[in-house]
Amino acid sequence: MSTLLHETWKCYNKMVIPWRLTCSMMPSIKQSVMWMKFGSDLIQRFSHGDKFRITNLQEEIQSCRHGDSTIFQFYTRLQILWKELLLYRTILGCTYASPCTCGLISKIQKERDDDCVIKFPSWTE
């Protein structure tokens, strides 16, 4: 793609994305974001919803019981919840060395794996 076409595309893209976003919003929300800079302002305003989803996922994991389901169904349900939780709670990487040699990342991963193991025995409840 030529530089001129690319610049034209970027210009139109800056107009289309906000237009598409505002078209998908409820009128009350649209009014409150109409004059915001799209991107950083919107991320700052709406990114906190992830914390609520994390809380909901943690509660679902804690309340998940074997019940009438098979062990495979129970494990699959937990796996789905754990995987979604990992999407929201990524492990931060060390910025001092690449690759990290301090071992912190592997310790954090082990703790998360242990959390899953601790929850799994509740299938007998």
What is the model's pLDDT at position 59? Answer: 92
What is the model's pLDDT at position 120? Answer: 65
Kind plus residue range of the DSSP H or E element containing 123:
none
Ramachandran category for residue 2: left, alpha or beta (phi over 0 → left; psi -120 to 50 → alpha): beta
Q: Is 122 helix (H, G, I), strand (E, B) or coil?
A: helix
Q: For the whole model, what pTM was predicted?
A: 0.51
Taking only the tens place, the pLDDT of each residue in 98-108 is: 666 778 778 88
In 24-120, which residue ranges form alpha helices assigned H by DSSP? 27-33, 40-46, 49-63, 71-88, 104-119
**3-state DSSP of 9-35:** HHHHHHHHHHHHHHHCCCHHHHHHHCC
Taking only the tens place, the pLDDT of each residue in 37-75 is: 655 566 666 655 578 888 899 899 888 888 888 888 888
